[in-house]
């Protein structure tokens, strides 16, 4: 009999098929998993090869188990040489202990070590600087099996940093040794740095400045340099050698030269400003003692009278008092007012000029104080007055002798209380202004005639500066001619060098009734007519060449204070006070004073 093979049950056959399918599925999953792991590892390796920094893995003994190409290139070793190398073999000997302590600390705490610098010896013997970051490598059970590190080549950066540090050390040495005060501020006026000289010049301790806003309240000197510094921060432009009187308790008569410049980074981005304050007290005193200045602000002259005025203007520049400027028309009263303003602490605030003789009383009141809408016919909007415009600065009231009694009273209040009301409005407005006035009239005579308030007169003439006529300072004429030639050459793009000897002769002998303004206009006319390099007689106004204007010595009357000479001069001039003053060689105010002194009146009024 043939042996029969027992048939399997349907269930056994079904279970057998399921087992074969399960076995086949498990093998497929493992294959896919291995493939995914391999792909991930390849991507990981690719990523590590692409980064610029070196990446290494070490075992717990400090031997290299893995590294990327960047690390191999950094050290200059081949991959075969590096494999299994201890970190102690490529680290500089005096750095090994510090690196070991870092690894040990990571091993004990499990916390990563932040980047620190250490020195590496390359394969070629060159010493480089690396930046090392360390973290712990753990197995699946969480047990430490080694270290992972990022190594960055910072050799070039360290060289630059050392050079910068050396440069900075030199600058700080210079900064400390300079005798001038140096203060740097940011755009918000916060002090970045200040040197030791700041204490002696400004009277402020450096540690009270740095990190704080530079404010006037903390400075014993009143902070006069603030306006200069603010100007540079606003305009981003340098200001050079601006001289002011900058006093504090330790140095009550100190004069300084201030220079400021923008503070920029290497990309020309505006960071703030630098303030340099130089003590020039001795230098200024020597200048005044040893030599005459031929120019102060825009005023030119070397005569003794002008030199005295230069000194007085400089002394008044930072003294908050009213000043009365007197003198004939064209003698430079406005220039003197500007010199006071622009050489003082108000220089960077407004300078406002008002011609008081050019407006009626109502218009002048509105011009000075402003008005509100509807205050009078034609007042269609609120208007700011000149006093308000000049707030913080200086206002020059020209021809002050021509203002009405009503305006005189209101002006007196402004001078005394520093406040006023707009026309048509009851509220007072406070202002911080310096008032300078000028006139070619004899205010004292007007006071005695009842045409000018005596209290206002004395309030205005706290300091009076009388500017001499040009005929009394003939030694300045050559200097003024040179000054105007230079100015007009620049204005008209010309190259005129001088005036001829004949022209200079007439200039020196001419009476100049219009004073410096007339000389300026005469030279401007000459520039229009002259085609060569020298101004000749044909180019100057004919009246300068006329005998009447030249006043030969034989026709001059003696400058004696007698009623006879005064009457003779008045009669000769047809009772023209200006001409009479010219004949006597005095200014017009003197003529008025002598007329009043000798009680002389015109024959028609006798």
What CATH number should be reported for the domain holding residue 428? 3.40.50.300
Mean pLDDT of 455-473: 93
- Asked which of 90-99, 283-292, 332-341 is least confident by mean pLDDT, the reply is 283-292
- Here the tokens at position 427 are 């509220």
With cut-offs at 50, 70 and 90, classify the pLDDT of residue 122. Answer: very high
Residue 486 pLDDT > 90 = yes
Give the pLDDT score at 12.
Answer: 54
**Digit-coded pLDDT (tens) for 336-378:** 999 999 888 788 889 999 999 888 888 898 889 988 887 777 7
**Digit-coded pLDDT (tens) for 535-547:** 999 999 999 988 7
The CA distance from 155 to 129, in Å, is 5
Asked if 83 and 57 count as a contact pair (C-beta separation under 8 A), the reply is: no
In a domain, 124, yes or no: yes
Residue 506 pLDDT > 80 = yes
Asked if 587 and 469 count as a contact pair (C-beta separation under 8 A), the reply is: yes
Residues 91 and 133 in one domain: yes
Residue 567 pLDDT > 50 = yes
Mean pLDDT of 560-583: 77
Phi, then psi, of 266 in degrees rounded to 5: -65, -20
Helices (H), 51-149: 69-75, 79-82, 96-109
The CA distance from 440 to 448, in Å, is 17
Residue 581, CA distances (Å) to 31, 111, 306, 506, 535 in order: 123, 99, 20, 20, 30
Task: Give the residue, 289 or 230, on which the prediction is more confident.
Answer: 230
- Here the tokens at position 95 are 């750095």
Quote the percentage of the chain above a pLDDT of 90. 44
Average pLDDT, the chain: 84
What is the tally of structural domains in the chain? 5
Give the pLDDT score at 280.
Answer: 78
In a domain, 27, yes or no: no
- Nearest one of 150, 153, 149 to 58, comparing CA atoms: 149
Residues 276 and 303 in one domain: no
In a domain, 481, yes or no: yes
Task: Give the residue, 198 or 520, on which the prediction is more confident.
Answer: 520
Instruction: Identify the three-state secondary structure at position 276.
Output: strand
What's this model's pTM, rounded to 2 decimal places?
0.57
In a domain, 60, yes or no: yes
Contact residues for 550 (Cβ-Cβ < 8 A; gap 6+): 506, 509, 510, 511, 544
With cut-offs at 50, 70 and 90, classify the pLDDT of residue 557. Answer: very low
Residues 452 and 507 in one domain: no
Phi-psi label, residue 585: left if phi above 0, alpha if psi -120 to 50, beta otherwise: left
The CA distance from 340 to 312, in Å, is 9
Give the pLDDT score at 223.
Answer: 64
Query: 10 Å Cβ neighbour count for 103?
Result: 19
Residues 447 and 492 in one domain: no
Give the pLDDT score at 1.
Answer: 35
Phi-psi label, residue 468: left if phi above 0, alpha if psi -120 to 50, beta otherwise: beta
Strand partners, 384: 370
The CA distance from 579 to 583, in Å, is 6
Residues 98 and 150 in one domain: yes
Residues 538 and 573 in one domain: no
- Here the tokens at position 258 are 């201030």
Give the pLDDT score at 296.
Answer: 80
Domain boundary pick from 128, 159, 190: 159
Give the pLDDT score at 282.
Answer: 67
Q: How many residues does the chain have?
A: 606
Residues 453 and 323 in one domain: yes
Residue 13 pLDDT > 70 = no
In a domain, 15, yes or no: no
Domain boundary pick from 285, 301, 316: 285
**Digit-coded pLDDT (tens) for 223-279:** 667 888 888 888 888 888 877 777 666 666 677 888 899 988 878 889 899 998 888
Residue 58 pLDDT > 90 = yes
Asked if 136 and 110 count as a contact pair (C-beta separation under 8 A), the reply is: yes
In a domain, 222, yes or no: yes
- Asked which of 237-246, 423-432, 557-566 is least confident by mean pLDDT, the reply is 557-566
Residue 558 pLDDT > 60 = no
Angle at which helices 477-492 and 515-529 pack, to 10 degrees? Answer: 50
Asked if 465 and 323 count as a contact pair (C-beta separation under 8 A), the reply is: yes
Asked if 447 and 490 count as a contact pair (C-beta separation under 8 A), the reply is: no
Mean pLDDT of 53-78: 93
Pairing state of beta strands 191-194 and 181-186?
Answer: antiparallel
The CA distance from 84 to 65, in Å, is 6
In a domain, 577, yes or no: yes
- Asked which of 133-147, 178-192, 232-246 is least confident by mean pLDDT, the reply is 232-246
Residues 445 and 476 in one domain: no
Asked if 210 and 193 count as a contact pair (C-beta separation under 8 A), the reply is: yes
Task: Give the residue, 14 or 199, on which the prediction is more confident.
Answer: 199
Instruction: Tell me which residue range forms the domain holding 106.
Output: 49-159
Residues 571 and 539 in one domain: no
- Nearest one of 165, 219, 227 to 194, comparing CA atoms: 219
- Here the tokens at position 534 are 């020298």
DSSP 452-484: S-HHHHHHHTTEEEEPPPGGG-GGGHHHHHHHH
Sign of the Cα torsion 483, 487, 492, 494 reads: positive
The CA distance from 601 to 580, in Å, is 14
Asked if 532 and 498 count as a contact pair (C-beta separation under 8 A), the reply is: no
Residues 339 and 384 in one domain: yes
The CA distance from 325 to 340, in Å, is 11
Instruction: Identify the three-state secondary structure at position 67.
Output: strand
Residues 381 and 332 in one domain: yes
The CA distance from 434 to 462, in Å, is 13
Strand partners, 66: 57
The CA distance from 213 to 164, in Å, is 28
In a domain, 25, yes or no: no
- Here the tokens at position 430 are 């406070």
Give the pLDDT score at 24.
Answer: 53
What CATH number should be reported for the domain holding residue 569? 1.10.10.60
Give the pLDDT score at 2.
Answer: 37
Asked if 401 and 439 count as a contact pair (C-beta separation under 8 A), the reply is: yes
Domain boundary pick from 227, 251, 285: 285
Asked if 62 and 102 count as a contact pair (C-beta separation under 8 A), the reply is: no
**Digit-coded pLDDT (tens) for 191-232:** 888 888 888 888 778 877 888 888 765 555 556 678 888 888
Helices (H), 383-473: 386-389, 405-417, 443-448, 454-460
- Here the tokens at position 468 are 């001499």
The CA distance from 341 to 350, in Å, is 9
Mean pLDDT of 86-101: 93
Q: Over 292-324, what HEC string results? A: CCCEECCEECCCHHHHHHHHHHHHHCCCCCCEE
Give the pLDDT score at 604.
Answer: 65
The CA distance from 289 to 285, in Å, is 6
- Asked which of 162-176, 380-394, 500-514 is least confident by mean pLDDT, the reply is 162-176
- Asked which of 32-46, 270-284, 398-412 is least confident by mean pLDDT, the reply is 32-46
Strand partners, 133: 150
The CA distance from 216 to 345, in Å, is 13
Contact residues for 144 (Cβ-Cβ < 8 A; gap 6+): 60, 107, 110, 136, 137, 138
With cut-offs at 50, 70 and 90, classify the pLDDT of residue 26. Answer: low
Residues 308 and 423 in one domain: yes
What CATH number should be reported for the domain holding residue 98? 3.30.450.20
């Amino acid at each position: 009999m043939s042996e029969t093979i027992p048939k399997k049950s349907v269930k056994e056959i079904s279970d057998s098929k399921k087992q074969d399918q399960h076995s086949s599925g498990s093998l497929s999953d493992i294959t896919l998993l291995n493939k995914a792991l391999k792909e991930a590892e390849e991507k990981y390796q690719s990523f590590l090869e692409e980064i610029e920094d070196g990446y290494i893995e070490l075992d717990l003994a400090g031997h290299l188990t893995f590294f990327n190409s960047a690390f191999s290139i950094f050290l200059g070793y081949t991959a075969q040489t590096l494999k299994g190398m201890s970190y102690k073999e490529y680290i500089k000997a005096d750095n090994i202990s510090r690196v070991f302590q870092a690894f040990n600390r990571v091993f004990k705490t499990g916390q990563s070590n932040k980047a620190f610098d250490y020195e590496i010896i390359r394969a070629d013997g060159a010493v480089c600087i690396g930046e090392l970051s360390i973290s712990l490598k753990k197995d699946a059970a969480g047990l430490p099996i080694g270290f992972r590190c990022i190594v960055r080549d910072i050799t070039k950066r360290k060289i630059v940093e050392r050079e910068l540090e050396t440069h900075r050390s030199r600058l700080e040495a210079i900064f400390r040794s300079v005798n001038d005060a140096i203060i740097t501020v940011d755009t918000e006026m916060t002090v970045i740095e200040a040197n030791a000289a700041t204490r002696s010049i400004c009277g402020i301790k450096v540690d009270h400045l740095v990190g704080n806003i530079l404010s006037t309240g903390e400075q014993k000197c009143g902070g006069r340099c603030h306006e200069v510094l603010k100007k540079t921060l606003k305009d981003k432009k340098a200001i050079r050698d601006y001289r002011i009187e900058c006093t504090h308790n330790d140095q009550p008569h100190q004069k300084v030269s201030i220079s400021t410049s923008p503070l920029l980074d290497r990309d020309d981005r505006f960071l703030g400003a630098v303030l340099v304050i130089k003590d020039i007290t001795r230098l200024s005193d020597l200048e005044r003692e040893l030599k005459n200045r031929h120019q102060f602000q825009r005023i030119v002259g070397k005569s003794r009278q002008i030199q005295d005025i230069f000194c007085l203007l400089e002394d008044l520049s930072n003294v908050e008092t009213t000043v009365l400027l007197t003198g004939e028309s064209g003698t430079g009263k406005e220039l003197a007012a500007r010199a006071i303003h622009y050489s003082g602490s108000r220089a960077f605030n407004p300078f406002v000029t008002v011609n008081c003789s050019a407006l009626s009383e109502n218009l002048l009141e509105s011009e000075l104080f402003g008005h509100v809408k509807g205050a009078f016919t034609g007042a269609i909007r609120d208007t700011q007055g000149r006093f308000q415009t000049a707030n913080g600065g200086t206002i020059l009231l020209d021809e002050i002798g021509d203002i009405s009694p009503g305006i005189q009273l209101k002006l007196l209040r402004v001078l005394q209380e520093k406040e006023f009301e707009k026309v048509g409005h009851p509220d007072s407005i406070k202002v911080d202004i310096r008032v300078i006035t000028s006139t070619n009239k004899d205010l004292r005579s007007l006071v005695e005639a009842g045409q000018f308030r005596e209290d206002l007169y004395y309030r205005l003439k706290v300091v009076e500066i009388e500017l001499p006529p040009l005929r009394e300072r003939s030694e300045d004429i050559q200097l003024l001619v040179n000054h105007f030639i230079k100015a007009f050459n620049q204005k008209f793009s010309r190259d005129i060098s001088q005036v001829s000897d004949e022209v200079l002769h007439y200039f020196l002998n001419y009476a100049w009734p219009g004073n410096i303004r007339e000389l300026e206009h005469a030279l401007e006319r000459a520039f229009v007519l002259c085609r060569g390099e020298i101004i000749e007689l044909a180019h100057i106004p004919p009246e300068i060449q006329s005998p009447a204007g030249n006043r030969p010595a034989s026709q001059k009357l003696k400058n004696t204070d007698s009623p006879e000479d005064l009457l003779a001069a008045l009669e000769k001039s047809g009772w023209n006070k200006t001409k009479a003053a010219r004949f006597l060689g005095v200014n017009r105010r003197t003529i008025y004073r002598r007329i009043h002194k000798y009680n002389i009146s015109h024959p028609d009024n006798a």
